[in-house]
Amino acid sequence: MGSSSGGGGGGKKKYSTFRNRQRASLSFFIVVMFFSVFGLIVFTEIFFIDERGRAAGVVLRRGSLTIQRKRDKSSDYDDGFQSEDYISIRVGAAMMNDDALGALLMGGRPPVALPVIERSAPSPPKVFAENQLPPYPENATVNEGGWQNVNNTRYKFFVFSAFYDDRKGQRIIRVIGATKTRGAERVWCRLWYKTGDSNSTGHVSVTVPAKFKVIRENWNLKYSACFVMCPLTNKTIPGAVSVVAKVRDPPANLLLVINNRNETGGIPAGTDTSQHKFGVCVKPLHFDYNRALQIVEFVEFNRILGVEHFTFYNHTIGDQVNCLLKDYADKGLVTVLPWSLNMVSQKEIRTEGLFAALNDCLYRSMYKYSHLLLIDLDEFILPKFNDTLSQMMSHLSRRLNSRTHGSYSFQNGFFYLQFDDDDSIFDFDDPVAANLITLRKTRRKTKLHPHKQRSKYICRPELTIEAGNHFVWEFIPGHGTLNVPSDTAILHHYRICEFGGDDCIKDSSTVDRTAYRFKDDLVQAVRSTYYRNKGKCALPELVLPSGKVLNKLMHFLKPNANR
Ligand SMILES: *[C@@H]1O[C@H](CO)[C@@H](O)[C@H](O)[C@H]1NC(C)=O
Ligand SMILES: *[C@@H]1O[C@H](CO)[C@@H](O)[C@H](O)[C@H]1NC(C)=O
Ligand SMILES: *[C@@H]1O[C@H](CO)[C@@H](O)[C@H](O)[C@H]1NC(C)=O
Ligand SMILES: *[C@@H]1O[C@H](CO)[C@@H](O)[C@H](O)[C@H]1NC(C)=O
Ligand SMILES: *[C@@H]1O[C@H](CO)[C@@H](O)[C@H](O)[C@H]1NC(C)=O
Ligand SMILES: *[C@@H]1O[C@H](CO)[C@@H](O)[C@H](O)[C@H]1NC(C)=O
Ligand SMILES: *[C@@H]1O[C@H](CO)[C@@H](O)[C@H](O)[C@H]1NC(C)=O
């Protein structure tokens, strides 16, 4: 009895110790799990810091936890920046929200400004009354694009432009800016509304804490392009916005809110070519850019392909190109925005803050152009068989059902300038034709780069949220990229060997004379613009390439000269 009860008690005891042990091992397991996850994260962080000093691009994205390193030789961006380690860390967002994750990754520091992590300032402790804050900056010029300072910040903080954006189920004013890549300061938006009184020029403000998002492509430099997002509190769209570091700071900037959207809304991008409208965006022109013939060839060739408008950014431009661009601007074909960003290019921010320019152009073009080409002056997206970009787009939407795609990627093909000129150049007696790069250089490296490496794209601005250099980083959910087959079109890229020297021309190459399909139109258009502006803009006389006579002779002496 005693034994049985004892046994029973022992059984109970055993059972409960078993349960205790089970509980203990369960908590042990949880602790181990916690530490391994924590350790992994700490490891990731160490990795992170290690790489930080070494010009590594760090990209944080939602997704599963993977760390991938690859040597990306191809990510060099044409002016001296060559191979770099490229690290992308994807972190599971399922486990915790971005801020908690950010805090862990930053080793307990405040979760600020990790790439892609959105955050907002704490909800406004309503300690201020709007009418007691500094007034509308009457004396600041309302600016629809131009770098202005945000005063009273510890690090540089500039804003360039502001756009109304009501996509993705939110209504915000999206400001394009540039500031610290990590640990950007919290800022406020002063949204300015004209007062109802029609006689008055007065403004009232609504002041809201801004959300902040760093633009992903930052090359791990100290400063990055960014989005400052101001949530709207009612249905009225404000006329202007100022970004301030402290609510009581007198606003040092004033941006016009650009809203291209109208009641009819978006621009169709289906097969009906009459509805397509193409725009081009070019990163800031710098180094006193002054290649007159290049810019005329670029604009005229793209016009032949159906482009209606070009947006350029003026960092530093030489006299001839200045004059040409003013002529184009007078015709409404070109917009040139000032670009004096007070940051050291390549040391503080990537190439004059080009990602701010590309995204400014994206939002500026939205609802005005159905398709946007984000390309450089030495790059041309040339359809192989179609006469215009519009025909090509219709063809793609029929053949590949691409109507819902947000962007179209074109593989890069290098036409190295060190390759010999096209043979036919020697037959041209026309100095215009003989000097056009797309006609002179017809030999290209046979191997095209894969998509996303040096590729360029045409995007549909309404479906795009964040534009990158070689691909779109973020679409409206449900849209993606179509990789355009190389038999439809490729990116013709005219440049010198990308790793210095002349060795690149030893790569296997092919002759690609696609540009010759447009030769007559191109030569005529370039000639007309060039000579119309030659006097006014003091453009140099075009001459046949030097040594042409000798070259021509050599050309006929060449055994394979069969022309
Ligand atoms: C704006 O400028 C005018 C004249 O330059 C000056 O009288 C006025 O006080 C300025 N207003 C503000 C708000 O600074
Ligand atoms: C607006 O201006 C008109 C004419 O100048 C004046 O009669 C009217 O009182 C003004 N209204 C207000 C609200 O100041
Ligand atoms: C929204 O707020 C602004 C500023 O207070 C005001 O001028 C505007 O009339 C408001 N709009 C609506 C629809 O309430
Ligand atoms: C912003 O800062 C600049 C330079 O420190 C100063 O000259 C300017 O007056 C400030 N603007 C305002 C509105 O405080
Ligand atoms: C609104 O957008 C449509 C589509 O682009 C355009 O045809 C129309 O002219 C625009 N209307 C106004 C008033 O701007
Ligand atoms: C570019 O900026 C310079 C300096 O501000 C200016 O003189 C020039 O007119 C600008 N060019 C164009 C085409 O806007
Ligand atoms: C466009 O090119 C494709 C081949 O890439 C061809 O099948 C199609 O007919 C062309 N469309 C037009 C309008 O030329």
DSSP assignments along 381-427, one per residue: EEESS-SSHHHHHHHHHHHS--TT-SEEEE-EEEEETTSPPPGGGGG
* For residues 416-436, average pLDDT: 91
Q: Which residue has the higher pLDDT, 140 or 265?
A: 140
Question: Is 223 contained in some domain?
Answer: yes
Residue carrying structure tokens 């189920």: 169
Residue 164 has pLDDT above 70, yes or no: yes
According to the model, what pLDDT value does residue 545 have? 75
> 3-state DSSP call for residue 473?
strand
According to the model, what pLDDT value does residue 17 have? 58
d(CA 29, CA 21) in angstroms, rounded, equals: 12
* For residues 496-515, average pLDDT: 94
Q: What percent of the chain has pLDDT over 90?
A: 63
The two three-digit tokens of residue 300, written as one number: 């005229």
According to the model, what pLDDT value does residue 427 have? 81
Cβ proximity of 512 and 503 under 8 Å: no
* For residues 242-258, average pLDDT: 97
According to the model, what pLDDT value does residue 561 have? 42
According to the model, what pLDDT value does residue 559 have? 52
User: Closest by alpha carbon to 79, among 287, 230, 319?
Assistant: 287
Based on the fold, state whether residues 205 and 314 are members of the same structural domain. no
Q: What domain count does the chain have?
A: 3
Residue 560 has pLDDT above 60, yes or no: no
Based on the fold, state whether residues 283 and 254 are members of the same structural domain. no
Q: Which range, of 32-46, 56-70, 159-173, 405-419, averages the lowest pLDDT?
A: 56-70
State pLDDT tens for residues 411-424: 999 999 999 999 88
Residue 131 has pLDDT above 70, yes or no: yes
| Ligand 1 center from residue 139 Cα (angstroms) | 6
User: Closest by alpha carbon to 58, among 517, 50, 246?
Assistant: 50
Burial of 25 (0-12, 13-18, 19+ CB in 10 A): exposed
Based on the fold, state whether residues 243 and 288 are members of the same structural domain. no
- Could you give the strand order of the β-sheet that contains 66-72, starting from the edge strand earlier in sequence? 57-63, 84-92, 66-72
State pLDDT tens for residues 330-373: 999 999 999 999 999 999 999 989 999 999 999 999 999 999 99
Based on the fold, state whether residues 95 and 122 are members of the same structural domain. yes
Based on the fold, state whether residues 504 and 361 are members of the same structural domain. yes
Ligand 2 atom at minimum distance from 199 CA? 1
Question: Is 38 contained in some domain?
Answer: no
* For residues 239-253, average pLDDT: 96
Ligand 1 atom at minimum distance from 138 CA? 13
Based on the fold, state whether residues 344 and 469 are members of the same structural domain. yes
Q: Of 132, 161, 191, which marks where a domain is finished?
A: 132
Question: Is 140 contained in some domain?
Answer: no
Distances (CA, A) of 221 to 87, 115, 348: 14, 12, 6
Residues 6+ apart with CB under 8 A from 12: none
Q: Is the CB of 486 under 6 A from ligand 7?
A: no
542: DSSP letter: P
Q: Is the CB of 295 under 6 A from ligand 6?
A: no
Query: Whose Cα sits closest to atom 13 in ligand 2?
Result: 197
Based on the fold, state whether residues 346 and 409 are members of the same structural domain. yes
According to the model, what pLDDT value does residue 547 have? 60
Here the CATH number for the domain that contains residue 439 is 3.90.550
Based on the fold, state whether residues 242 and 113 are members of the same structural domain. no
Based on the fold, state whether residues 201 and 309 are members of the same structural domain. no
Query: Whose Cα sits closest to atom 2 in ligand 1?
Result: 139
Based on the fold, state whether residues 114 and 254 are members of the same structural domain. no
According to the model, what pLDDT value does residue 31 have? 73
According to the model, what pLDDT value does residue 5 have? 39
Based on the fold, state whether residues 212 and 355 are members of the same structural domain. no
Question: Is 43 contained in some domain?
Answer: no
Ligand 4 atom at minimum distance from 251 CA? 13
According to the model, what pLDDT value does residue 376 have? 98
Burial of 556 (0-12, 13-18, 19+ CB in 10 A): exposed
Residue 106: pLDDT band (50, 70, 90) is very low
Question: Is 180 contained in some domain?
Answer: yes
Q: Which range, of 112-121, 247-256, 533-542, averages the lowest pLDDT?
A: 112-121
Q: Which residue has the higher pLDDT, 476 or 262?
A: 476
Distances (CA, A) of 404 to 208, 269, 286, 460: 35, 9, 36, 10
Residue 94 has pLDDT above 60, yes or no: no
Question: Is 95 contained in some domain?
Answer: yes
Question: Is 484 contained in some domain?
Answer: yes
Question: Is 35 contained in some domain?
Answer: no
The two three-digit tokens of residue 388, written as one number: 């215009």
Range from 59-63, 118-122, 160-164 that averages highest in pLDDT: 160-164
Q: Is the CB of 267 under 6 A from ligand 5?
A: yes
Domain hosting residue 127, numbered range: 61-132
Mean pLDDT of the residues in the chain: 82
Cβ proximity of 71 and 85 under 8 Å: yes
504 half-sphere exposure, CB direction, 13 A CA radius: 21
Residue 516 has pLDDT above 70, yes or no: yes
According to the model, what pLDDT value does residue 79 have? 31
User: Closest by alpha carbon to 153, among 60, 228, 53?
Assistant: 228
* For residues 473-482, average pLDDT: 95
Query: Whose Cα sits closest to atom 4 in ligand 2?
Result: 199
State pLDDT tens for residues 485-501: 999 999 999 999 999 89
Using CB distances shorter than 6 Å, the residues near ligand 4 are 149, 151, 250, 252
Ligand 6 atom at minimum distance from 317 CA? 1
According to the model, what pLDDT value does residue 41 have? 66
Query: Whose Cα sits closest to atom 2 in ligand 5?
Result: 264
According to the model, what pLDDT value does residue 18 have? 57
What are the φ/ψ torsions at residue 414 (nearest 5 degrees)?
A: -85, 125
Based on the fold, state whether residues 121 and 199 are members of the same structural domain. no
According to the model, what pLDDT value does residue 139 have? 87
